[in-house]
Amino acid sequence: MTRGAVGLAAAGLAALGAATLALLAAIGRVTLFTAATVSHLVRPPFYAREFATALVQIGFFSLPVVGLTALFTGGALALQIYAGGARFSAEAVVPQIVAIGMVRELGPVLVGLMIAARVTSSIAAEIATMKVTEQIDALVTLSTDPMKYLTVPRVLAATLVMPALVAVGDIIGILGGYIVATGRLEFNAAAYLQNTAQFIEPLDIVSSLVKGAAFGFIAALMGCYFGMTSSRGAMGVGRATKSAVVAAAVLILGANFLLTEAFFSL
């Protein structure tokens, strides 16, 4: 091996090592932030007004985007299942597959991703801007812990309200499938609803709601983490927002796999 090749390999290894260390450091920082958030969840003071505001901002104002996403997805799912099922004369399974697909998988994941886009970005941009404009420092000088005042209400609200949003998404998704199946594919309305209701099991609903809570926690936590740790300036705010959304989306998909695997084993 020539000296040039050895040098190149060493530089490559050094870059890999540096990237690995940076990744581990980032994981460590997020873990510490998560631990701090959880510890603050159970220690007063609690800011009820901020929690209520977050509940409305994250829950109520996300309903339109959640509803539309679920409605279109449910409708498209019904068409796809019908087309696929027709290949082996199984068109009749549309109600069951739409129901299980929406409740166990698409409902929580799509609502999670939409919340990552809408809520995580908003939280990260808001908190990062507060940092840039010294509002976080101002909170500290006013004897208020930014973790308690900014992070805890948002994370708690997202964790509690997301199961409700997912439930709404599941129902509207099934409704989307119902509208397409009865209007376009000539399914009997009563039979469609009966098949849906009979096929869904309590564990399906539990898995959907648990995923919702986990995704809500991740979405709000990432927004708060990247907002709190953003660098100064407009570029810092932009970078924090982008990083928060990407991290939340990836973590939601990763958590979805782990939770699916866990419920699969039950």
Partner 1 sequence: MITFENIHKSFGPNHVLKGVDLTVDQGRSMVVIGGSGTGKSVLIKSVLGLIQPDRGTITVGGRATTRHDRDAFLSRFGMLFQGAALFDSLPVWQNVAFRLLRGRLKLPRDQARATAIDKLRQVGLGEDVADRFPAELSGGMQKRVGLARAIAADPDIIFFDEPTTGLDPIMAGVINTLIRDIVTDLGVTAITITHDMSSVHAIADDVAMLHDGKIQWTGPVGTLNDALDPHVVQFVNGRADGPIATIR
Least Cβ distance, residue 52 to partner 1 (angstroms): 13
Least Cβ distance, residue 58 to partner 1 (angstroms): 14
Q: For residue 221, give the nearest of 12, 54, 74 by alpha carbon.
A: 54
Q: Which of 7/233 has CB closer to partner 1? A: 233
Q: Which of 22/140 has CB closer to partner 1? A: 140
Distance CA 83, CA 266 (A): 31
Three-point CA angle 168, 212, 110, nearest 5°: 70
Least Cβ distance, residue 61 to partner 1 (angstroms): 14
Least Cβ distance, residue 227 to partner 1 (angstroms): 14
SS3 call for 229: coil
**What does the binding site for partner 1 look like in residue numbers (CB under 8 A)?**
45, 47, 53, 130, 133-135, 137-138, 140-144
The count of C-alpha atoms lying within 13 angstroms of the C-alpha of 190, restricted to the half-sphere facing its C-beta, is: 0
Q: Which of 105/145 has CB closer to partner 1? A: 145
Q: Which of 26/140 has CB closer to partner 1? A: 140
Distance CA 65, CA 79 (A): 22
Least Cβ distance, residue 104 to partner 1 (angstroms): 38
Q: Which of 198/231 has CB closer to partner 1? A: 231
Q: Which of 80/135 has CB closer to partner 1? A: 135
Distance CA 252, CA 110 (A): 10
Token output for 109: 């994941």
Distance CA 158, CA 164 (A): 10
Least Cβ distance, residue 149 to partner 1 (angstroms): 9
Q: Which of 48/190 has CB closer to partner 1? A: 48
The count of C-alpha atoms lying within 13 angstroms of the C-alpha of 1, restricted to the half-sphere facing its C-beta, is: 8
Q: Are 93 and 192 in contact (CB under 8 A)?
A: no
Q: Are 241 and 124 in contact (CB under 8 A)?
A: yes
Token output for 119: 């809520």
Q: How far is CA 30 from the centre of its chain?
A: 16
